[in-house]
Amino acid sequence: MLRPIFLGLVGSCALIGGYGAFGIGAQNGLFDGFHKSVFRSHDPYVPGHKFPVQTTFTGIAPVDQHVSRLLALFICAIDGEKTWDVSVSYWYLMVNFLAGWCLLVLEGMRRGNTGKAVSWTGTMGLIFQNISYTVTVPIYLVIHLLTSPTARPNPAASDIQPRNPLEPSLIPVTSILSFAVPALLMALPTPQMISPGAHYLWLIIWQLFPLWQTIIQWALTNFVTRNSITSGYKSNLCVDTSSVYRFVLLITIAIHLPLLEVALLPGEYVPAEWPAIRKVFEQTNFWNVFIPAAWSNAPSLDQSLTTVSASALAPLVKYLLQWDAYGGGAAVLLWSVYLRKTVGDAISWFDIARKLVFWTALGGLVAPAAVLLWERDELIAERSEIEERKTR
């Protein structure tokens, strides 16, 4: 009875998040604004950018238009004039996006998922980079709940175990190299620190981060294995996967708590002698950084405008990214709750709710998901060790 409920809940995240991101985007003028800027037949530009936008990449018009649309979303979030709530929210969402991605990559490495569609996390990542996180991830997790042995009641330790005990420990490194480094480089000021050409290049490189991570992960795993660096290493489920959970908790808490403090502290408490810093606090609060507005109160663009101003699209892009990240993040959280309940240790719903509230307050939506999955792994490992001792 529990699985159908969670299948419905996880699947609904795609509908709710998809409508919040793209349904509202079609209504509030965001996509119309793109057609008046990036996709203009003459002098295409991105609001707030000092240089003509690059709109030709492959020579194939539909492909180039799709790539331009993806790049425009992030250029509007990181370039040009915008208030600080846009910038703070953008980096918060990017870190949570990375954290959720790490948990999905780990799940694809489990032995029980070998040969199944859910093991192709790199392919899934490329799909959500081109469609959306909030639609692709819930669908992926529904497939996981329906097909994966790790989602069955009381899964076997052999199914939860990574195929290669080395691979999970490399996820933090490969995630930083493939996701974090390009994300930071594409956000550097143009032309003060990087050229417009390099700016667009790093944007495209980041869009393909699931491909780079798959390649780097494969290369590092093979290099370490062939050079016998791990010879004599005894696999342990808790040790094998814990590095990923620690990394996820580290980055989510490290971004959540400082930004929460910024959002909650009124600007008047910052000395007037620090005008630049004071401006950050004055333009941010809990609601405009962490909570997307109701659909009925979504930011909108005056669609009668023929030219879009430099700062007009940034709030609309922030709104889309919020629903995109939160829809996918909520699906990951619900999925982790279900997997935690499959262990069969009779944990109460009150205890789960308590963990959700505590860890969400510390690190946002993905942090409690990491904690619940970590607990699941430890309980299964402990149960397996007890059974092994009984058979000796």
- Is residue 119 within 8 A of residue 86, CB to CB? The reply is no
Mean pLDDT in residue range 17-28: 95
Give the model's pLDDT for residue 53: 67
Q: Is the pLDDT of residue 391 over 80?
A: no
Give the model's pLDDT for residue 47: 58
Share of the chain above pLDDT 70, in %: 92
Give the model's pLDDT for residue 239: 61
C-alpha distances out from residue 295 to 52, 112, 192, 273, Å: 33, 40, 38, 39
| 366-377: b (≥16 Cβ within 10 Å) or e | bbbbbbbbbbbb
pLDDT tens, position by position, 135-155: 999 999 999 999 999 999 999
pLDDT tens, position by position, 51-69: 666 777 777 878 887 887 7
Mean pLDDT in residue range 305-325: 86
Backbone angles phi, psi at 162, to 5 degrees: -65, 150
Q: Is the pLDDT of residue 173 over 90?
A: yes
pLDDT tens, position by position, 227-277: 655 554 455 655 679 999 999 999 999 999 999 999 999 999 999 899 999
Mean pLDDT in residue range 322-347: 94
Question: How far apart are alpha carbons 284 and 85 in whole angstroms?
Answer: 5
Mean pLDDT in residue range 327-333: 98
Contacts of 241 (CB under 8 A, 6+ apart): 106, 162, 168, 374, 377
Q: Is the pLDDT of residue 83 over 60?
A: yes
Give the model's pLDDT for residue 180: 97
Average pLDDT, the chain: 89
Give the model's pLDDT for residue 51: 60
Q: Is the pLDDT of residue 3 over 50?
A: yes
Q: Is the pLDDT of residue 189 over 90?
A: no
